[in-house]
Structure 1
Amino acid sequence: MEKDQVPQDQSNLTKNNVKELLYATDENGNYTTTLSTGWEPKTIALSNSIDEINERIADAKQQVLNGEVSPIVYFMEANKMDLNILSSYVGFWKWRVKRHFKPSVFATLSDKVLQKYADTFGISIEELKNSITK
């Protein structure tokens, strides 16, 4: 793509005055870098991804409120993590983290274990235990 044809569509990037670095060809046919504010297909894909993430967060919150899962699931989704990432951050085996998803197990966790989750999510133990139900 030529430098003067790089898309400059309105996107989520423009809301924060962020531009994306792209490669394009200049008038001599040499590759060069240029900035783009967005590209409609990419904006649509990004918007769909964000909508899906927000749905997963809302579902996780509802599951916590229904007593189906522990707050760890909500904060994992809210922090855009999955089981593998969360497991590596807290330093527990995946099966152990998955076990902590059970409300009955979560209720018995020590402050030391809860602190690892709280530190990972950037919140306090109190917020981990109670912020969803408020």
Structure 2
Amino acid sequence: MKKEEVPQDKGNLSKNNIKELCYATDENGNYTTALSTGWEPKTIALQNSLQDINERIEKAKEDVKNGISSPIVYFMEVHKMDWVVLSSYVGMWIWRIKRHRKPSVFKRLSNKVLSKYAEAFEISVEELKNFKGE
């Protein structure tokens, strides 16, 4: 796209007076950089992604409240982690972490194991143990 065609739509960036660096071509056809305040399709995609994340967080919260999942699932969603990422943070196999999502298994976890999760989620062990989805 040409430098003068770089989108300047109102978006999430323009609210905070932030601009995004984009590559464009100048009048001679050479690549250069240009600043953009936003692009409507990108803004819509970002809003849809954030809405999806918030829905997953609310579902995880309800699952904890209803005794379907352990708090690990909720905090994993809040921190935008998946099983692979959480596994690398806590240094455990994925299958083991997936077992810990069961409330019955979670209740029996040692403080040593819980402290690994708490550190990954940047909360205390007590906050992790006492989270009831409320």
Task: Identify whether the pair has TM-score above 0.5, normalized to the shorter chain.
Answer: yes
Deviations 1:42-100 (A, max 9, x none): 11111001000000000000000000010000000010001111111100000100000
Q: Which residue is equivalent to 1:85?
A: 85
TM superposition shift of 1:131:
3.5
**Structure 1 residue 111 corresponds to structure 2 residue 122:** no
Question: Is contact 2:72-2:100 (8 Å) kept?
Answer: yes
Q: Which residue is equivalent to 2:63?
A: 63
**Structure 1 residue 26 corresponds to structure 2 residue 31:** no
Distance 1:13 1:102 in 2: 40
What TM-score comes out, normalization by structure 2 length? 0.95
Q: Which residue is equivalent to 1:35?
A: 35
- SS of alignment partner, residue 7 of structure 2: coil
Question: Is contact 2:68-2:103 (8 Å) kept?
Answer: yes
Gaps in structure 2 of 5+ consecutive residues: none
The aligned amino acid for 2:31 is Y
TM superposition shift of 1:126:
1.2
Distance 2:69 2:131 in 1: 14
Distance 1:80 1:17 in 2: 26
TM superposition shift of 1:130:
1.8
Gaps in structure 1 of 5+ consecutive residues: none
What TM-score comes out, normalization by structure 1 length? 0.95
Q: CA-atom RMSD, angstroms?
A: 1.1
TM superposition shift of 1:132:
3.9
Deviations 1:9-46 (A, max 9, x none): 11112233322111111122211011111100111111
Question: Is contact 2:70-2:100 (8 Å) kept?
Answer: yes
